[in-house]
A and B are shown apart, each in its own frame.
Chain A
Amino acid sequence: MLPNFAYTRPDTLKEAVKQLGSEEARLHAGGTDLLGCLRDGVFSAQKVVSISKLDALRGITKTSKGGLEIGTLTTITAVAEHPLIQSDFTALANAAGEVASPQLRNQGTLGGNICQKPRCWYYRGEFDCLRKGGDTCYAAEGENQYHCLFGSDDTCFIVHPSDTAPALTVLDAQVRIAGRWRKKTVPIDSFFVLPADDVQKETILGADDIVTEIVLPPPPAGIKSSYCKVRARRSWDFALAGIALALAFNDAKVAHARVVLSGAAPIPWRSMAAEEAIMGQELTPDIISKAATAAVKDAEPLAQNGYKVPLFKGLVEQELAKMKV
């Protein structure tokens, strides 16, 4: 059951930032993740600050240069169904379409999706683990079949739960943030935080920072992008493994490559090794196989998630083969 909290729904961004500055205030966008966390006692709230009145933060607009600005409150459904996103930023449309279930996509926002809390079942359950300020990671030697292969720093083994984040990463998205002292824009690959840097944070946001827009730069000429996700059941489930790709070709050779894995690490995991394996190459079966091997080369499987190694390999192979010109 939800704890007791005060609720406010400010009219301006400035007021929202101010409200978030108060003790144990939590930002509420679509609430699909926040309310679950509060109900399950993952953390508490004294004040819930809804930003749903800030209409300026909702909607998708084309920039003069051919990129897109997506307001943080834009629903995941709206992202998935947008014709321009489908044609020019396909990975994002794919990824948004793979999120959760239709109801959650209608209610959940894009900003909320990249700011959502991890799904480690210890974190969500009655376990006082490291990420919640306790002194043990239960997953390390526990039930870790859904945990990470990369980036744990032997500290916390979550996988980043978002499907849209890896897609945004291959598309070189930027995140605009408004805070008490400043407004800033950061590239999405410096938005997420590894356990080594701070085990209690998933993003660089401070308590009173608000993501306002996500900006997609104009897509490089000829780029093709995609997102594919594997899960234990076919809807309403997070990724066991996922892959976002953005490739451009010169003749048949790869001239631009972004390979980002989901379900792999505490942050969307850019596989430089896979990118290197394909850059300047034709996507022959041999190269594809090399890239797949490279993608999992540094994996550090735990007792129960070893299946993710062949799974990622298979997935990289399948998805690169689809990209072949």
Chain B
Amino acid sequence: MDTKKEELYFVHNTPVPETPAPGQKPEPWQQTQMVGQRRARVDGYERVSGTAAYPSDVILPKMLYAAILRCPHPHATVKKVDTSAAVKMPGVHAVISGMTPATNPVWNYRTWEGHLKKSKLFDPHCRFEGDTVAAVAAETPYQAQDALRNIDVTYDVLPYVSDYRKALDTGTPNIHAEGNQVGQPQTQERGDVAQGFAEADVVLEETYYTACEIHTPLELHGCLANWDGDRLTVWESTQGVYAVQATIAEVLELPLSKVRVIGHYMGGGFGSKGDTSKYSIIAALLAQKTGRPVKLFLTREETYLATGNRPSSHMTLKAGVKKDGRLTAMEFTAIGASGAYPAGGTSLLDWLIKDLYTCPNVRTHTTDVYINAGPARPFRAPGHPQCAWALEQMMDALAEAIAMDPIKLRLQNIPDFSQARPGNPPYTTTGYKQCLEEGATQFGWQQLRKKYAANKKDGNWLRGVGVAGSSWFLGNGFGPATIILKLYADGSVNLNMGASDIGTGTKTIMAMVVAEELGIKPEAIQIEHADTGTTQFASVSGGSKTVPTEAPAVRDAAITVKRRLLEMAAEDLKSKPTDLSLKNGKVFIKNNPSKAMPITAVAKLKQHHVIVGVGNRGPRPTDKTVIPFAAQFCEVAVNAHTGEVQILRFLGAHDSGRVMNRLTYDNQVFGGITMGIGLATTEKRVLDHNHTGKMVNRSWHEYKLPTSMDVPADMQSVPIEIPDDVANTTGAKGLGEPVTIPTAAVVANAIYNATGIRVTETPVNAVQLSQLLAQHRKEG
């Protein structure tokens, strides 16, 4: 019977790492058995077959549907909300607005300086198209929408500013009392920039723009709220259940213990579901008022307006280089748009300028402004892809100006410490050189550059190749982590973790860590996660933090369980725990392996039925900084007549430390490249600047995401695997954001290689290129 369980749950003939003595740090993994393999997702079947219940799938008895009335103007004051007709409509159970004080709590937002500023859930001063004005709960979604149409709002329509480049002009309407500048412009300087430019052999200057990109996760934003007495349960599509719990508790003045937020499955989040939105509060209030569960999922149109974006940016970069390839100075000036509220319009926009390359003299100056449009939200690597768009095109141009290969120029300037951080801490590991070199080899860089230097033409098409690199400022995660692992008497395991799996494969990777440490099959591990009622605090799954934050805590929990198990087995085997080891589902004495017993036979385990191990994220190094690096390569073809762009091939070489699961690793690389192709070639929010300030491309087909036809089938992931054992006990660094940072710049550099045209503004497709090609022909 016991042997049968072993067959079932334990992996055979693979060693399990030794168990460190209490208080001792585990050794870095050497030869891993499970970690690093290609493993399909532990919940893949559920997700693909449709049995996985996402928050938008959850239905409760007597549930009502809510909908939000949003301001149709980019800037207006609500004078009056007349809900008298709406409340009488069939199926309508409640209507709330700024006119109903009991359901209009204080809603804080954080100023640029980090202070909390009081506003209201329904603020009469609407600062963007899509601001919240009223909400209804009704028996069907249709009745809720019909009721919205029958709410009569009197607006005082105010002048607006929609163009961020004009936000600070005199005469533009003020969006906040303090004006349209968000906090203070930021200036950072090191060295002597003027001197640096004087020393340069070549100085180039260029202005670059990136268009505003909208968040479009596949599952819409929303939640379902249900009260049970004074306890509130919310099922929400979120990147962090604890963040939602904290905001709801604060706004509704509830103890944390009374707010349970569940987000087991969620259909994608790239930063927009890291913040808590007003809809969660509205759903809770409507549920309270009606005494019924209330489901509130936004429409796609609402998400375009109200749930965040990667802000547009306008960047001027001047850079100087010596003939031998040493950078002498860089000066970067940028404007970004937070939108209607302080939202990091320029956050991290200058980071790569300050940190990616060795450069003694650097000045950056960034200004964040308000405009009457939906506030920004973190968007996969905030600031970085925009900055790479400028910096990495500049590196390409500098290389050409000094007749040096662009890879060589980059290799000349790789630092081994962080120049942007106070105290200039060294990097724990730096794989940038290998990313560039190994990537170039696998891509065939030298051959292709030579080939296209000789002849770019391929019928009507011009071919070229490009490269760009980057780092991501945060490689070791953030926040604490507490994991609870239970080993059951039959040898199966339950893993309890607060973190959300936002589609990146978190659950699978954590199961692989447990499997590695205990020699158990991942299928025998049950995972409970992202539920504030049953798991422990976890920070939001964002900033590429989940693996480097949670995986070490999972490893720690597994080791704790292992230790306890060996202690128990030591009693049976009349031995010392430190003399014991684990293999094939058996505990044995190290120097007498014939003395062994199945785990399931350990007496104390049989008696207690469970071993509980708590694991924590250990401290992070303070004297060093942990940074992932990347280099990407692509090949394009541009139609010489029409400016159509075809991206033929992409390669991503990434140093994110240890590869935890090769399959989900490659998924991230391909997904990040796909998203970057959107920034490069198709995506752009269009506001009607001249008449109304409203967003005009508020639909799936007008707001153009790349389709599968726009993304090359030929994509290659080349992991540069340098386990970072100083960073954490798993050696992994963040991956989810680095993968999208250089992509757009790679495309631009390849287009330049193909056409000789420097495209400084996103998106690049036939709209821009047809005109630029014609100009180029004219100028010869």
Contact = CB atoms under 8 A, between A and B. Distances in A.
Interface in B751-780: 763, 765-768, 770-771, 773-774
A126 B704 CA distance: 19
A143 interface: yes
Contacts of A145: 767
A234 B72 contact: no
B642 A318 contact: yes
A111 to B, nearest CB: 21
B707 A233 contact: yes
A171 interface: no
A233 B710 contact: yes
Interface in B52-80: 72
Contact of A307 (B644, B688, B704, B768): B768
Interface stretch (B93-101, B356-364, B694-702): B694-702
A307 B690 CA distance: 20
Nearest to B460: A318
Contacts of B641: 314-315, 317-318
A7 interface: no
Given A126-B72, A235-B709, A143 B767 contact: no
Interface string A118-155: 00011011110000000010100111010000000000
B682 interface: yes
Contacts of A62: none
A59 B457 CA distance: 44
A5 interface: no
Contacts of A122: 688, 696
Interface string B680-713: 0110001111111010111101101011111000
A232 B702 CA distance: 10
B33 interface: no
B704 A143 contact: no
Q: Counting chain A CB atoms within 10 Å of each CB, which of B640, B682, B696 scores highest?
A: B696
A54 interface: no
A311 B643 contact: yes
Contacts of B688: 122, 127, 138, 142-143
B45 interface: no
B112 interface: no
Nearest to B142: A1
B697 A232 contact: no
Interface string B134-147: 00000001100100
Interface residues of A, number: 35
Contacts of A141: 690-691
A82 interface: no
A234 B642 contact: no
Given A232-B704, A233-B710, A142 B767 contact: no
Contacts of A101: 707
Given A125-B696, A314-B770, A318-B642, A234 B145 contact: no
Contacts of B642: 230, 241, 311, 314-315, 318
Given A233-B707, A237-B704, A142 B770 contact: no
B362 to A, nearest CB: 36
Given A233-B681, A233-B707, A311-B643, A306 B771 contact: yes
Given A234-B710, A318-B642, A121 B766 contact: no
Interface in A202-256: 230-237, 240-241
Contacts of A40: 699
Interface in A154-197: none
B765 A233 contact: yes
B698 A240 contact: no
A79 B639 CA distance: 28
Contacts of B644: 230
Contacts of B706: 233
A230 B707 CA distance: 15
Q: Counting chain A CB atoms within 10 Å of each CB, which of B641, B644, B707, B768 scores highest?
A: B641
Nearest to A317: B641
28 contacts: A1-B145, A1-B299, A40-B699, A125-B696, A126-B72, A127-B692, A138-B688, A142-B689, A143-B687, A143-B688, A145-B767, A232-B763, A233-B709, A234-B646, A234-B707, A234-B710, A236-B707, A237-B704, A241-B642, A306-B771, A310-B774, A311-B766, A311-B770, A311-B771, A314-B639, A314-B640, A314-B773, A318-B639
The 7 closest A-B pairs by CB, nearest first: A314-B641, A310-B774, A311-B770, A234-B709, A307-B771, A318-B641, A121-B696
Given A101-B707, A142-B688, A143-B696, 8 more contacts: A121-B696, A125-B696, A143-B686, A143-B689, A235-B707, A236-B707, A311-B642, A311-B770
Interface of A: 1, 40, 101, 121-122, 124-127, 136, 138, 141-143, 145, 230-237, 240-241, 306-308, 310-311, 313-315, 317-318
